[in-house]
Amino acid sequence: MAILQHPMTMEIDLLITPEWIITVDSGNQVLRHHTIAVDDSRIVGIMPTSEAEKRYIPRQIVALPQQALLPGLVNAHTHVAMSLLKGLADDLPLMDWLQHHIWPAEARWADAEFVYNGAQLAIAEMIRSGTTCFNDMYFFPEAAAQAADESGIRACIGMIIIDFPTRWGSGVEEYLQKGLALHDQLQEKPLLTTAFAPHAPYTVSDEPLHKVLHLACELDVPIHMHVHETAFEVQQAQAQTGLRPLTRLEQLGLLDKHFLAVHMTQLNDEDIALLATKGVHVIHCPESNLKLASGFCPVAKLTAAGINVALGTDGNASNNDLDMLGEMRTAALIAKAVAQDASAIPATQALRMATINGAKALGLDAKIGSLEVGKSADMIAVDLGTLESSPLYDPVSHLVYCTSREQVTHTWVAGKALMINRQLTTLDSATLIAKAHCWQQKIGETS
Ligand SMILES: CSC[C@H]1O[C@@H](n2cnc3c(O)ncnc32)[C@H](O)[C@@H]1O
Ligand SMILES: [Zn+2]
């Protein structure tokens, strides 16, 4: 028997009707009484609910009467495996923390299993706090890639370069060769991309940077590096070479729209003009910068100069969480203090930094970063009907200034639900906690 259908009806995977849709498109729209339609991993429609109900025959319907639906958060700089070192060494400045605590611990413990277990733990924390894409820099990137692939999260995996031998390899040539092999392998993984990740100006010499530049151009992938993180870094480079690190990178030809400069707490007006002219992306990690007392990134000045500023948590050993909602709030608050201007980085701008700006930095903005027809369905739902969120005049204000990560109820990547009503679908929390305790016992005994 033929079933009569509306002439325009279409079978699709999923219809979601939240209380608010925060698009983060160019108009920063906040829509009510609207529904989002998803099919085959992509957003196929955003329209008034009454219209969507007529137009689609969904295989699944999700009603979110208290929630805001927004693009998944993009953590544009992290070291996922370092979740296993969370709280191991606190209250120290960067170089003391790295040289006397973190590097020795990594030399002892950071093998493939450590990276795989740490990455799983971090990915679970990120999915639970609304991050749908992360940009990583760490040894054994193939283990982080495997954890990301199995979990269903989107990730940009760093092909690291550092001048000294580590458990992952004997030096630059081996790192490059292993990184390129991983890049080839990941071509068949639609959610995984790669970036070159030379560690920092003080740990990577000119020759490897030349090679990175050449290969990054050939493969058309971003380059991601810690730069101008502390005053000491800049002073030491000037004393040793006569050049500020950023000037050296410019002379090497690295600065362009493929370059992601992480931290950037030490910037003068000339540096800012250079970044703007070259189209460099700045990745701001305010909580790591605060905890290590590294300095303040002048985000309001960078934004005013037209520079794309995205947000990262940095690793769990310097933050000590991977909470992008919290990072967004810290970024908005600290920008006002640094600029001595309460209007610096308003809530809409902070939300863009945590979403579309991260997507732009990673070269993924045609795919993710906003809720628009044609983009991948990387989305999160946040409960704004809680006591803490009441009353509510402006959902974007609440998302930035008064929402905790426990209010994230659902997380989707490419249309697949990775968390439903706070239950992870691809990872088992109890197993991850047990594994973390095993590592804690091993590492704790020796530190
Ligand atoms: C080459 S793998 C990444 C390497 O970076 C270290 N690291 C973590 N956080 C920071 C930071 O804020 N500045 C510099 N280096 C950092 C991490 O421990 C790995 O050794
Ligand atoms: Zn870092």
Q: Residue 2 has what pLDDT?
A: 47
Q: What is the pTM of this model?
A: 0.98
Structural domain includes residue 3: no
Q: Residue 5 has what pLDDT?
A: 55
Structural domain includes residue 429: no
Residue 220 CB coordination number (10 Å) = 8
Q: Residue 6 has what pLDDT?
A: 61
- Alpha helices in 252-316, H assignment, sequence order: 269-278, 286-291, 299-304
Structural domain includes residue 127: yes
Is 77 annotated to bind a ligand? Reply is yes
Q: Residue 8 has what pLDDT?
A: 75
Is 33 annotated to bind a ligand? Reply is no
Q: Residue 445 has what pLDDT?
A: 83
**Domain limits at 265?**
73-362
Counting ligands in written order, the one closest to the CA of 75 is 2
Structural domain includes residue 253: yes
Is 270 annotated to bind a ligand? Reply is no
Give yes or no: residues 135 and 236 share one domain. Answer: yes
Domain count, the chain: 2
d(CA 344, CA 349): 9
Give yes or no: residues 81 and 33 share one domain. Answer: no
d(CA 154, CA 212): 24
132-144 tens-digit pLDDT: 999 999 999 999 9
Q: Residue 147 has what pLDDT?
A: 99
- Bridge partners of 18? 64
323-365 tens-digit pLDDT: 999 999 999 999 999 999 999 999 999 999 999 999 999 999 9
Atom of ligand 1 nearest to the CA of 138: 2
215-238 tens-digit pLDDT: 999 999 999 999 999 999 999 999
Q: Residue 354 has what pLDDT?
A: 99
Structural domain includes residue 396: yes
Nearest CA to ligand 1 atom 2: 138
Counting ligands in written order, the one closest to the CA of 260 is 2
Q: Residue 118 has what pLDDT?
A: 99
Ligand 1 pocket, mutate which of 178, 199, 204 (most atoms under 8 A from CB): 199
Give yes or no: residues 67 and 78 share one domain. Answer: no
Is 406 annotated to bind a ligand? Reply is no
Q: Residue 1 has what pLDDT?
A: 47
C-alpha distance from residue 185 to each of 78, 192, 194, 213, 446 (Å): 22, 10, 10, 21, 36
The tokens of 16 are what? 């979601």
Give yes or no: residues 259 and 384 share one domain. Answer: no
Low-confidence ranges of the chain (pLDDT < 50): 1-2
Counting ligands in written order, the one closest to the CA of 158 is 1
Ligand 1 pocket, mutate which of 85, 98, 203 (most atoms under 8 A from CB): 98
Give yes or no: residues 58 and 111 share one domain. Answer: no
